[in-house]
Amino acid sequence: MIISINNAVLATQIFSAIFIVLLLLSIRRQKSFAGLSVALTQELKGFAILAIVLSHIGYFLVSDHRFLFPLTIAAGLGVNLFLFLSGYGITTSSISKPLSVWQFYRHRLLKIYTPFWLVVIVLFALDFLIGHKTYGLGYMFQSIIGFFPHADLWIDLNSPLWYFTLIIFYYLLFPLVFFKKYPCFSAILLYLGGYLIVRAEPSILDNVIHLYRIHLFAFPLGVLTAGLVSKYPGSRAQAGFKKIQEKFKTNKLAVQIIYYLVALILLGVFAYTAYYSNIGKERWLEEATSLLTGAAIVILFLMKKFEIKLLYWFGFFSYEIYLFHWPLMARFDIFYRFTPAWLATILYLGLFLALGWGMRQLLSKLKA
């Protein structure tokens, strides 16, 4: 159900002010440079899930698209960041701790399917009990195995789950083409696997193939990046930075000027390419623009000398939030219809964190 909204610009200003204050209050000094560490990737995931959630609210849930603008313009970037970080994380883990194909499937697939099954079952139950809505057995079976060939916001069980099918494809293919000594070659094979399917244009994917096309390169790029980083690990990177610092030790002002100049340029690139994202133009141009935007934000996060704990926690629970955020707001709304839009958005973000924590606790007890 589309939510009517009044004073969209004012509501956006109030939400933005509150959210910025919360971000600033969560800033902590960063102890040392650690490259694409787990903590940093969680912050990037937090940025990505917020970009997706706010975009879904501003462009699809409410009647006035000015609400939350321009925080709503980076949904595609958020998807690409998730794919990139998934490829990077899975490759880094496979290099440091190789698994057999069976071990990989048992460990990785179970890890992502368990919360997925929990959410899907709950959504089917809620739709039946509250919405008096039923689904065919074929649709239910496809949903349980994670195959979503449609992404209709108002008809499907959970339209953002089209992404789940794409990531499952990469996870199924990854252990078959991954070579620890040649991760960069593995990245090429992963891209070719996705490209061949998109090129074949199977009719069963007619409704989502356009989404796959514009996000085809991000996961293999993450694998490629992890492969390159493995050849130049963090300890060597830190040693290189120390050498550079020694050379410029006598002129700290010049170092600071260069640092902030580079940061300003990257921020400008990010802002420009996020706003002028080439959506709707040629697919390669749209994807390249999104990847450039993603590269700018990743480098900016690498350069920053502080941690943003609020982004970290959104990243920590980003998978759970991705699984339930849209149907919770679109079909079972409890805030937008009763409170101002800016307050409802704040309340939902808090609720998402709480539900993410609750899901983690529940699943940990089930595993025990």
Amino acid 253: pLDDT: 77
Amino acid 238: pLDDT: 52
What pTM was estimated for this model as a whole? 0.92
b/e 140-168 (16+ beta carbons within 10 angstroms → b): eebbeebbbbbbeeeebbbbbbbbbbbbb
- Using the 8-state DSSP alphabet, how is residue 4 labeled? P
Amino acid 264: pLDDT: 94
Select from 306, 264, 303, 322 the least CA-distant residue to 78.
Answer: 322
Terminal Cα-to-Cα distance of the chain (whole angstroms): 39
Torsion over CA of 245, 248, 252 and 257, rounded to 10 degrees? -100
CB 330 within 8 A of CB 339: no
Q: At what angle do helices 38-56 and 341-367 cross, to 10 degrees?
A: 130
User: Per-residue confidence at 43, pLDDT binned at 50, 70, 90?
Assistant: very high
Amino acid 319: pLDDT: 96
258-303 pLDDT tens trace? 888 999 999 999 999 999 988 888 888 988 999 999 999 999 999 8
Q: At what angle do helices 38-56 and 75-96 cross, to 10 degrees?
A: 150
Amino acid 282: pLDDT: 85
* Token pair recorded at residue 283: 């697919």
Mean pLDDT of the 314-335 span? 95
Give dist(CA 292, CA 294) in Å, integer. 5
Amino acid 256: pLDDT: 83
Residue 236 clears pLDDT 80, i.e. is over it: no
Among 149-158, 231-240, 329-338, where is mean pLDDT lowest? 231-240
Amino acid 246: pLDDT: 60
240 or 68, higher pLDDT: 68
* Token pair recorded at residue 268: 């400008």
Give dist(CA 198, CA 41) in Å, integer. 29
Give dist(CA 50, CA 356) in Å, integer. 14
Give dist(CA 219, CA 41) in Å, integer. 14
Mean pLDDT of the 341-360 span? 96
Q: What are phi and psi of 97, to 5 degrees?
A: -140, 85
Give dist(CA 184, CA 88) in Å, integer. 12
Select from 22, 49, 29 the least CA-distant residue to 320.
Answer: 49
Q: In a 3-state reduction of DSSP, which class is residue 257?
A: helix
* Average confidence score pLDDT of the chain: 90
Amino acid 239: pLDDT: 56
Amino acid 128: pLDDT: 92
Amino acid 359: pLDDT: 94
Among 188-202, 229-243, 267-281, where is mean pLDDT lowest? 229-243
Residue 245 clears pLDDT 70, i.e. is over it: no
Amino acid 281: pLDDT: 83
116-162 pLDDT tens trace? 999 999 999 999 999 889 999 999 999 999 999 998 998 999 999 99
Percent of the chain, pLDDT > 70?
94
User: Per-residue confidence at 347, pLDDT binned at 50, 70, 90?
Assistant: very high
In the chain, beta strands by DSSP E: 27-29, 306-308
Give dist(CA 106, CA 175) in Å, integer. 12
Amino acid 168: pLDDT: 95
User: Per-residue confidence at 248, pLDDT binned at 50, 70, 90?
Assistant: low
CB 37 within 8 A of CB 302: no
Amino acid 77: pLDDT: 93
